[in-house]
Amino acid sequence: MQKKFISNLVWMVFFNLLIKPYAIFGIDAEVQNRVGTEEYGMYFTLLNFSYLFNIILDLGITNYNTKYVAQHPNLVKRYIGNIITLRLVLLVAYVVLSVLIAYFLGYNARQMWFVYLLIFNQFLISVILFFRSYFAGLLLFKWDILLSILDRILLIGFVAFLLYSPVIQTKFKIEWFVYAQSLSFLISVLVAVFLVFLRIGLPRLHWGKSFNLVILRKSFPYALLILLMMMYTRVDAMMIERLHIYGNKQVGIYAQGFRMLDASFMFVMLFCNLLLPMFARLIQERKSVVPLLDTASKLLVAFTSVMSLTCFAFAYFILDLIYVHDVILVVPTFQLLMLSFIPTSIVLVYGTLLTANGNLKRLNILSFIGLLMNILLNFMFIPKHGAFGAAVATLSTQSLIAIIYFVSVWKQFEFQFSWKESARYLFYATYCLTMYWFSTWIKLKEYQFLFFVVSLILGNFVFGLIPIRALVTSFKKE
C-alpha cells in the first residue's frame, strides 16, 4: 500500500505542480494586482462566505462515499442514482440558506450578484469532488489526478486571455475572474460526469426516502466535521471585514498572506485524498496503518518544513516577487500564516486517519473547540490588529488542535515511542536553523534564498524524510 501511495502521490504532485502554482500566483495574484487590494478583499470576503455553508451541498456524502466505495467497490452503481437526487435537494437548501443570510448581512446589489455567482461555483465544485470520490474510492488515481487539475487548466487559459490579450482594451474587472471560474468548473463537471458514467454505466435517478435517510444519518458526522473545520478556517476573512474599521483593505492584506498558505494547503489535501481510501482499506482488512502513516508523516515534514521555514525567513523577498501593493504590510501576517501551515498539515493527516477509523465524534468535539477558540481570539485581536490579529488566532488555534490530534492518534492506535525517530526530527530542526545562519553570510538575497532552499531539500534526503528506496521501488511491479 505504501508503494501505491508514493507512486500516485508523485504523479499527483507532479501534475499539480505544473498547473496550480501558476493558477494561484500567475493568475489569481495577478488579478489582485490588477483590481487592487480593497476590490479583491471584497471578492475574498464573499468567496469565504460562500464556503461557510457549502457543506449543505454535500453533508459529508463525498467523504463517506470515498470510504464506502473503497471498502465495497462492487456496490458502486447500485446507489449513485439515489445520491444524485438527494444532492439536488441539498442544493436547494444551500441556495436558500446562503441567500437569506447574505440579505441579513446587508450586502448591496453588486455584492449579492457575486454571492449568486459564487454559490453557483460552489455547487459545481461539490459535483466535481463527488464524482472524483468514485475514482479515489476505486483507487483509480490517474482519473482523479486529471479531474483535480482540469478546472485550473481551463481557468488559466480563460483568465490569461482576459489579462494579456491585446484584443481586450478595457481594464480588468473582478467579475470577469468569477465568470471564468464558472465556465471552467462547468466544463470540468461535464467531463467528470462523462468519465464516471462511462466507468460504471448510466444510473437511474430515483428518490428513495429510506435510503436517503440512512445515507444522511451515516454521513451527518462527516458533514458536521467538515462544517466545523470549514468555519474555523474560513471565518477569518468575514470577521476582519466586519470587525476592523478598514475591513476590505485588511481582508485584501490577509488574502495576500493567505494565498501561499492556500496553495500549500492544496498539496497536503492531495496527501489526504490518497490516504483516506488507503487507510480505510487497511483498517477494513485489519492491517497495520503504521508503515503508511510513517511514510506519509515523513513526506509531510519534508514538504511543510521547506515551505513554512522558507516563507518565514524570506517573507519580503517572496512577496515582493508576487505583489505590487502593500507588500511591507503583508509580511507579518504572511509569516504567521505560513508557520500555521505546519500544525494545519498535522491536523489534516492525522484527522484523515481518525476519519477512516470512524472516530468522528472525537473529531467533531475537537473541531468545535477549535472553532470557539478561533472566534474568541479573532474578537480579541482583529479590531486592533486586523489581518495580523487573524493570523495570530489561526496559528494559536491550529497549534493547539494539532497537539491534541497527535496525542489522540497515538493513544487510539497504541503507537510505540521511538527515540530514534525523535532524534531524527530534532537533528533536522537543528540543521534547518544552522543552514539559515549560514545563509545570512551571503550578501545577495537571491543567493541566500537559493542556498537555504537547496539546503533544506538536501537535508530531507540526508535525514531520511524522503524515502529514496521507496520512491524507486514504487514504480516497479509489485
**287: its cell numbers:** 492491517
Query: How many helices (H) and strands (E) would you count in the chain?
Result: 19, 0
* Greater pLDDT, 192 or 470: 192
Using a pLDDT cut of 90, give the percent of the chain over it: 21
Whether 472 shows a pLDDT value over 60: the answer reads no
Neighbours of 308 (CB within 10 A): 23
Amino acid at 433: L
Rg value, the chain, Cα: 22
Using a pLDDT cut of 70, give the percent of the chain over it: 82
Q: What is the pLDDT of residue 477?
A: 46
Q: What are the phi and psi torsion angles at 436 (to 5°)? A: -65, -40
Report the Cα 213 to chain-centroid distance in Å: 29
Alpha-carbon span 17 to 307, nearest angstrom: 14
* Greater pLDDT, 185 or 15: 185
Alpha-carbon span 133 to 143, nearest angstrom: 11
* Greater pLDDT, 432 or 169: 432
* Greater pLDDT, 196 or 81: 196
Residue 187: name the closest of 144, 145, 158 by CA.
Answer: 158
User: Where do we find the cell 465556465?
Assistant: 183
Alpha-carbon span 247 to 380, nearest angstrom: 16
Mean pLDDT is highest, among 46-60, 137-151, 195-209, for: 46-60
Instruction: Name the least confident of 206-220, 244-258, 303-317.
Output: 206-220
Across all residues in the chain, what is the average pLDDT?
Answer: 81
Three-state SS for 185-214 is: HHHHHHHHHHHHHHHHCCCCCCCCHHHHHH
Instruction: Name the least confident of 106-110, 179-183, 206-210, 441-445.
Output: 206-210
- pLDDT (tens digit, 9 = 90+) per residue, 201-233? 666 666 667 766 776 777 677 677 777 777 766
Residue 16, C-beta contacts closer than 8 angstroms, at least 6 positions apart? 145, 148, 149, 266, 267, 270
pLDDT range class, residue 197, cuts 50, 70, 90: confident
- pLDDT (tens digit, 9 = 90+) per residue, 325-349? 778 999 999 999 999 998 888 888 8
pLDDT range class, residue 187, cuts 50, 70, 90: very high
- pLDDT (tens digit, 9 = 90+) per residue, 295-305? 788 888 888 88
Sign of dihedral through CA atoms 125, 130, 131, 135? positive
Residue 308: name the closest of 456, 170, 411 by CA.
Answer: 456
What is the model's pTM?
0.72
- Residue ranges of domains in the chain: 2-415
Neighbours of 411 (CB within 10 A): 9
Q: What is the pLDDT of residue 38?
A: 83
Per DSSP, the residues of 122-191 read HHHHHHHHHHHHHHHHTT-HHHHHHHHHHHHHHHHHHHHHHHH-TT--SPP-HHHHHHHHHHHHHHHHHH
